[in-house]
Chains A and B, each alone.
Chain A
Amino acid sequence: MKEMTSMQRFEAALKHETPDYVPVSYFSGIYMLHWMKDQLTWKDTVEYGRNGIRMANTTIKFLDDVGGDTAYILSDVGEIVQGWGVRMKIADEPDIHMALGKFAVNEPGDWEKLDVLDPLIDGRMPTYLDACEVLRDKYHDKVPIGVDVPSALTTCTHVAPMETVLIHMLTEPDALKKGLKTVTKTVGDFLNACANEGAYYAAYLTTRASKEITTLEQYQEFGVPTDKEIFKNTPGLMHICHVCGVEPMFEIISDYARTTKNVKGISWWDRGAKPNLTEAKQKWGKDLCLMAGIDHTNTLTTGTIQDIEKEVEESCKIAMPGSGFIFAPGCDISPKTPKENMRAMVKAARKHGKYR
């Protein structure tokens, strides 16, 4: 088979067509910067999240060095919600992403005070757009550009403390839904703006679609309508739903794949959650492209090269048949991950991920 470009490989996997190799992806973000500099400072951390050109150039350098098939844009969870006045907290270690500090919504009445944001000027959304533009100019249509964007319900848990959102689901559903309406429009506009600047897909973070967080009914009431509206309003983007909880709602995500044109897959922590890769392939492998394969919490951080190769080989054997598989860790890469382990992962995925 003629060697494909990363984009061709990725598209083939999403469509359940046979690529030359299993595409390889990962959620990197500031950890790429961490690996590139001997010593990261807080200056680097904050600047990274505020400078789209720097994000893009870091991504390019890392991809050249380590390998992989996607150029993925990720800074931290504040890029949208800072537009609503959420304050970020800088971690004690410079190689950790900024975290949520002070929230913008604390009382039920605060939900309806949120305004729809403009991705061209609000929060740090413009940095993502800058990053997309740089990556598009670099890769054109050879490498798929991905953006890390939280779903409407997940975004609500960045605007208000998660506990507050979960309580409001029960006690103030109408107030929460007012907020969800505004957030849904904002997230949709942001995704479209990313697509206009060259993004091919979104890792759409449906992180609350996990049974240890909400029930199916709750997610169907508060998550599903807003997710579907966003999918409908972003026809120019492919979506891979990322769920990093321990009991992801595959049934809901596969329903998305069956009922929309642009939801193609699911990314989850197959080594730490239910279902595992085997179960997922058996039950949902026809509807969903599965993006998984290696444990980012253990194997990738502390495993030997042999451990990594073994896990890669195992995952490829399980998930490759019939295509519909993108090899990836289950969630964000830890800054403790040795670069050699990342290189070994990509090398092993090429070795064991060849379609014959």
Chain B
Amino acid sequence: MTKKMNSLERVHAAIKHQPVDRVPVSGMGWFIGSRAGGLGTKEYASEGAKMAKGQLAFLHKTGIDLLHPMSDVGQMASGWGTVMRFTEGLAPMLDDFPIKEPGDWEKMSVLDPKKDGRMHVPIKAIAAMRKEVGQTVSLMPYVPSPLTSTTHIRAMENVLMDILLEPELLKKGLETIAETTIDYGNQIFDAGADGLLYAPTRASAEIVTLDQYMEFGASYDRDVLGGLDNQDGYNVLHVCGVEPFFELLSSYPNTGGINWWDRGSNLSIAEAKKNWGKKVCLVAGMNQTTTLMIGSMDDISNEVKDAIEQGFGDGTGLIIAPGCEISPNTDFEKIKRMVWAAEQYGRRK
């Protein structure tokens, strides 16, 4: 029997396809930290110490192995002028975009993560969390890919049109964003994160074609992931579309795992394991929109068990996770149940 590991050891072992004591679990709890910590939307999203408090409260309430300190998609985008709406009980929402015309792309400047936008919030949160938990829990904050970021600073419909009508201007914006993202990633690692939840969310065939993604997404993703100072390879890609470009994403540098919505997309864990299971750790298994919202405790256990049967046959290379951020109203007991089920069914024989 494999000796008992702490959460960080377990997650790293799974990502590197080493033996684990049991299958690790991520709750994909981003904004739910505010509710876990009894915090208001604005304070959770604006103060690193508060975000840390909320995330640690989520950890204590659920016992999961990975934390993703994050409040909303405006953390970086607000540095370029994106206006967010703060409503209690909900994650801050995109309200107004600074890029109105294609010509605005080339007016963007590279941001300083220490002072622009709210990037300092997760950076400070990570430092505080790492101080508290030491090297026992995996901390992987959400970092949007450059193409994903463009849709946080300009309406997505317009970005998609820019792909066709103003590609050169869009690329200028993408270069600036990529540079900012590398700096942000480096500071996140300096603060104590062990990986990024790097989100190329537009890498899905119902959004763009593969050729479009290669030109406007993949090129910048590679530069970001390959350009980070930390090349330990624990980063997990997050792609929540229904037809993710798995083959492409599994070839990315400095990438240890891929998180996707297996229960809602065209790719099951079994198929992903068969085709890419040796290349990347699969981070999936729970349906955040049905099972975790309206399912029973047995539904949750059964779904975890099924995911393990599909993807844990070799005793590693799987982290149980929802396909995207869980609703901030998700019952903490349901997340705890995921961990319980992982203990029951996901122990290495």
Q: Could you tell me the distance in whole angstroms from the C-beta of A356 to the nearest C-beta in chain B?
A: 50
Contact of A101 among B223, B231, B254, B279 (CB under 8 A): B223
| Sample (25) of A-B pairs whose CB atoms are under 8 Å apart | A41-B250, A41-B251, A41-B279, A42-B222, A42-B226, A42-B252, A42-B253, A45-B253, A46-B254, A47-B231, A47-B233, A47-B253, A50-B231, A87-B182, A87-B223, A87-B227, A88-B223, A90-B222, A90-B226, A90-B253, A92-B214, A92-B219, A94-B251, A98-B226, A101-B223
Contact of B254 among A43, A89, A92, A98 (CB under 8 A): A43
Beta-carbon contact of B226 and A88 below 8 Å: yes
Q: Could you tell me the distance in whole angstroms from the C-beta of B237 to the nearest C-beta in chain A?
A: 12
At the interface, yes or no: B179 with Cβ under 8 Å from chain A? yes
- Bits for B223-238, please: 1 = Cβ < 8 Å to A, else 0: 1011100010100000
Task: Across the interface, name the chain B residue whose C-beta is closest to A42.
Answer: B253
Q: Could you tell me the distance in whole angstroms from the C-beta of A133 to the nearest C-beta in chain B?
A: 20
> Contact size class for A?
10 to 19
- Bits for A32-54, please: 1 = Cβ < 8 Å to B, else 0: 00000000011101110010000
Q: Could you tell me the distance in whole angstroms from the C-beta of B280 to the nearest C-beta in chain A?
A: 9
Sorted nearest first, the 8 A-B pairs with minimum C-beta distance are A41-B251, A46-B253, A90-B222, A46-B226, A42-B253, A90-B226, A43-B253, A42-B222
Q: Could you tell me the distance in whole angstroms from the C-beta of B204 to the nearest C-beta in chain A?
A: 19
By secondary structure, the A interface counts as: mixed
Q: Which residues of B contact A88 (CB under 8 A)?
A: 223, 226-227
Task: Across the interface, name the chain B residue whose C-beta is closest to A51.
Answer: B231
Q: Which residues of A contact B182 (CB under 8 A)?
A: 87
A-B contact count (CB 8 A): 46
At the interface, yes or no: B148 with Cβ under 8 Å from chain A? no
Q: A46-B231, A50-B231, A102-B179 are in contact. Are A89 and B223 (CB under 8 A)?
A: yes
Give the complex CA separation of A102 and B223 in angstroms: 11
Q: Which residues of A contact B223 (CB under 8 A)?
A: 87-90, 101
Q: Could you tell me the distance in whole angstroms from the C-beta of B248 to the nearest C-beta in chain A?
A: 9
Q: Could you tell me the distance in whole angstroms from the C-beta of A242 to the nearest C-beta in chain B?
A: 26
Q: Could you tell me the distance in whole angstroms from the C-beta of A81 to the nearest C-beta in chain B?
A: 13
Q: Which of B182, B223, B226, B227 is packed against the most chain A CB atoms within 10 Å? A: B226
Q: Could you tell me the distance in whole angstroms from the C-beta of B219 to the nearest C-beta in chain A?
A: 6
Q: Which residues of A contact B149 (CB under 8 A)?
A: none
Give the complex CA separation of A220 and B225 in angstroms: 41
Task: Across the interface, name the chain B residue whose C-beta is closest to A39.
Answer: B251
Beta-carbon contact of A43 and B255 below 8 Å: yes
- Bits for B280-291, please: 1 = Cβ < 8 Å to A, else 0: 000000000000
Task: Across the interface, name the chain B residue whose C-beta is closest to A89.
Answer: B223
Task: Across the interface, name the chain A residue whose C-beta is closest to B182.
Answer: A87
Q: Could you tell me the distance in whole angstroms from the C-beta of A201 to the nearest C-beta in chain B?
A: 29
Q: Which residues of B contact A87 (CB under 8 A)?
A: 182, 223, 227
Beta-carbon contact of A43 and B251 below 8 Å: yes
Task: Across the interface, name the chain A residue whose C-beta is closest to B255.
Answer: A43
